[in-house]
Amino acid sequence: MAGEAVPRPTEIKVRRAEKTLNITFDDGTSCDLPAEFLRVESPSAEVQGHGPGQKTLVAGRRHVGIAAVEPVGNYAIRIIFDDLHDTGIYSWRYLHRLCRQQETLWQQYLAALEAAGLSRDP
């Protein structure tokens, strides 16, 4: 929404051993986002497509990890995954939405995998 304040991260930590990104926002929202979840929900065109309804179902990423996180201006981060996917720019707004909708989005992803006969395993 225009004019709506976008929550900004106050802390972003990569937990490599747990394969999670821990993020805390200035509105009090805090979450641990698994690398696999971030990878399959990547905002990249490769995953999201170039228009509505073009999202690609990404399977076989159960073991993916985060190799690095790079700042993009003062509005986003780029996450470089150890499967070499690095084209997603995760805006603060998008990361906040992933935190707030993590359970719903994850269940939708698992249902889509099952419907397609695909697996989280490589």
pLDDT recorded at residue 90? 97
pLDDT recorded at residue 120? 97
Distant-in-sequence, close-in-space partners of 43: CB < 8 Å, separation ≥ 6: 88, 89, 90, 91, 94
What pLDDT digit, counting tens, does each position of 26-63 carry?
Answer: 999 999 999 999 999 999 888 898 888 888 899 999 99
Among 77, 59, 62, 60, which Cα is nearest to 19's? 62
Q: Give the architecture-level CATH label for domain 9-111.
A: 2-Layer Sandwich (3.30)
- Band (pLDDT 50/70/90 cuts) for residue 3 is low
What pLDDT digit, counting tens, does each position of 74-93 carry?
Answer: 999 999 999 999 999 999 99
- On the 0-12 / 13-18 / 19+ scale of CB atoms within 10 A, 34 is buried
- Predicted TM-score (pTM) of the model is 0.93
C-alpha span between 98 and 37 (Å, rounded): 9
- Band (pLDDT 50/70/90 cuts) for residue 96 is very high
